[in-house]
Structure 1
Amino acid sequence: MEESLMKGEEERLGGVELRVLLVDDSPVERRIVEGLFKSTGDMFQVITVDSGRRAMEILGLNEHKTESPDVVEHKVDIILTDYCMPEMTGYDLLKAVKEQNFDRTIPVIIMSSENEPQRINRCLAIGAEDFIIKPLQTNDVLRLKNYARRSAISPRNGTKRKMTAELMAENGATDRRPRLTGLAVA
């Protein structure tokens, strides 16, 4: 049964459709980004909202759950959010999503027209998958598919990452012996 679930997830991620929650307070920006998604083919289903609070409702993270027909609780593959928004910033939304214990991680990508290294580092430090400087390009949109694939294949098991033998070899660490440089034997 688990194998068929993985196969279904792989087929969906193989090019059929990824559900993207697009969060931006600017209607013009939402239309532009949604147009970029549509120009890449049928692989994206875009749900657009105008605020972090509305995104929380869509994700089922608000205090007063509504029975709105567009509530997709936890069925979002990627969240793409603007950083600067009134009431709730993209950073605040990122924190709220990362604090949840979903069955799998939902990649959150922050976008902003301001290239501020401190802001970028702050978002990446708490778990943003990427930080994209506006205006978004077609290549930025296509990269989102890879983020969704990684999150679907790797369920949330915590934040520890194992280094494979391949990566160790690439990094010059061919064996696991500790280095004892400078150790004096009595």
Structure 2
Amino acid sequence: MGAEADPLPPSCTEDVHVLVVDDCPIDRKIVEKLLLKNGTFKVTAVDSGIKALEVLGLNEKVESPSVNEFKIDMILTDYCMPQMNGYDLLKVVKDDNCLKSIPVVLMSSENDPQRISRCLDTGAEDFILKPLHPGDIQRMRSYTRPFTPTSKTGTKRKVPLDIMPESNESERHPRLAGVTVA
């Protein structure tokens, strides 16, 4: 057929909204493409920790009520950046009551064990060495908060009492292979 289907509206998807923070435009684009290629991520990319704070609603002009108005599910930040490095961004996020539950993953091309330990001790979910690989992206998916299931085929749902049958005649018994239910 050749024509692509229109994407579902954001309200119908369960994409993980990732805030990518990296001062290098090439690295930022590579990470963005890896995340989007996976198909379960929505990406907002910025080039500094200061801009990340603006997206998160943590600049001086904005007060707490609008914190995380973009509904960021995860932050993926480079460690080495001017003005505010990834560790400083991590500290600000983890010190804020409204944002501290957001998983923060740091990335760097430098394999510095002390730096990695300090970030993990401060609350980072992970520290990934650049360049990122598809396996790193898959692992990141597990760091996000679990989604509340929406009505999908095969999921358990609570049935309101007013639509439950009053008699036991329509009661169903589970069928398990080789098991008799008394």
TM over 0.5, yes or no? Answer: yes
- For each residue in 1:22-70, what CA deviation from the matched residue of structure 2 results, as whole angstroms up to 9, or x when unmatched? 00000000110111012112x110000000000000000111239xxxx
- Report the number of matched residues: 135
Given that 1:20 and 1:77 are in contact with CA atoms closer than 8 Å, whether structure 2 keeps it comes out as yes
Q: Is the 8 A contact 2:94 2:100 kept in 1?
A: no
Asked if the contact 2:72/2:102 (under 8 Å) is kept, the reply is yes
Counterpart mapping for 1:1-186 below 5 A: 16-41=14-39, 43-65=40-62, 72-73=68-69, 75-102=71-98, 105-149=101-145
**Structure 1 runs (4+) greater than 3 angstroms displaced:** none
Is residue 18–residue 72 contact of structure 2 (8 Å, CA) maintained in 1? yes
- Structure 2 gaps of 5+ residues are 1-10, 149-182
Which whole-Å CA distance do the structure 2 matches of 1:101 and 1:54 have between them? 20
Q: CA RMSD in A?
A: 2.3
Name the SS of the counterpart of 1:149 in structure 2: coil
- Larger relative contact order (CA 8 Å, sep ≥ 6): 1
CA–CA separation in structure 1 for the residues paired with 2:127 and 2:24: 18
Identity in percent: 56
More helix by share: 1
Distance change >3 Å, CA 30–CA 103, structure 1 → 2: closer
Q: TM-score, normalised by structure 1?
A: 0.67
Read off the aligned partner of 2:60 and give its amino acid letter: E
Question: Gaps (5+ residues) in structure 1?
Answer: 1-10, 154-186
**Mapped partners of 2:121, 2:56: distance in 1:** 22
Q: TM-score, normalised by structure 2?
A: 0.68
SS of structure 2 residue aligned to 1:47: strand
Counterpart residue identity of residue 148, structure 1:
T
